[in-house]
Amino acid sequence: MGPSLSFDFAGFSPGWREGLLALIVLLALYMLLEVFRIRRLRRQKSKAAEAPLALEPAIKALSDGAAQGAEGSAAVADGEDEDVAWSEPPAHLAQEAFMRGVERELAQMRDELDTLRGEFAALREELRHELGQIKASQAVSPLYSDAMQMAVTGYGAEIIAERCGISRAEAELVASLVKNREH
């Protein structure tokens, strides 16, 4: 037999109460960790939301700096030394990037609006068609309601007469009534 592992807890024998207490402590630590993660995410969101607002003073300063830069280049040509921040992008680039983003988002929203308008128009036409069928069936005697619905859907007098069991003259009358209502 191989060596066996044995632990000497010096009279300590863990029971279900100790296990439950350990579980509660672990759960509390987990909840504390999640609270810290949520706070960090909120800070990141607020920084992201503040970024466009934070860019406005920088854009203004850069645009003012560009105007002063033209004056400064004349001064440098005269022999005066001036520090130029080569690592900073010009203000117009930041404004152009922002405007391109806004224009892309606007174009996407316009496309979505056009799609919704098309769907709305199709639903409106479908509703008008169904409403016309309902009105046609309510205004006609129950004996001729099937003939009227068939005429609304575009069937000819011959087919209406055969399927509804009415004379061809009656079917033509029903079809002409539907045509008069549509016009």
Range of the domain at 175: 140-183
Does residue 179 lie within any of the structural domains? Answer: yes
Instruction: Pick the closest to residue 167 from 150, 149, 145, 144 (CA basis).
Output: 144
38-92 pLDDT per residue, tens:
999 888 877 766 656 656 666 666 666 555 555 555 444 454 444 555 666 677 7
State if pTM tops 0.75.
Answer: no
Does residue 166 lie within any of the structural domains? Answer: yes
Please report, rounded to a whole number, the percentage of residues in the chain having pLDDT higher than 70.
66
Determine the Cα–Cα distance for residues 158 and 166; give it in Å rounded to an integer. 10
Does residue 77 lie within any of the structural domains? Answer: no
Q: Give the three-class secondary structure for 5.
A: coil
Please report, rounded to a whole number, the percentage of residues in the chain having pLDDT higher than 90.
34
Pure H helices in the chain: 16-77, 91-139, 145-153, 157-164, 168-182
Does residue 175 lie within any of the structural domains? Answer: yes
Does residue 171 lie within any of the structural domains? Answer: yes
Determine the Cα–Cα distance for residues 159 and 128; give it in Å rounded to an integer. 25
Instruction: Pick the closest to residue 84 from 100, 96, 74, 73 (CA basis).
Output: 73
Instruction: Pick the closest to residue 30 from 18, 40, 22, 42 (CA basis).
Output: 22
Total domains in the chain come to 1
Does residue 168 lie within any of the structural domains? Answer: yes
The more confident residue out of 3 and 166 is 166
Indicate whether 179 pLDDT > 70: yes
132-162 pLDDT per residue, tens:
877 766 666 666 788 888 888 899 999 999 9
Does residue 148 lie within any of the structural domains? Answer: yes
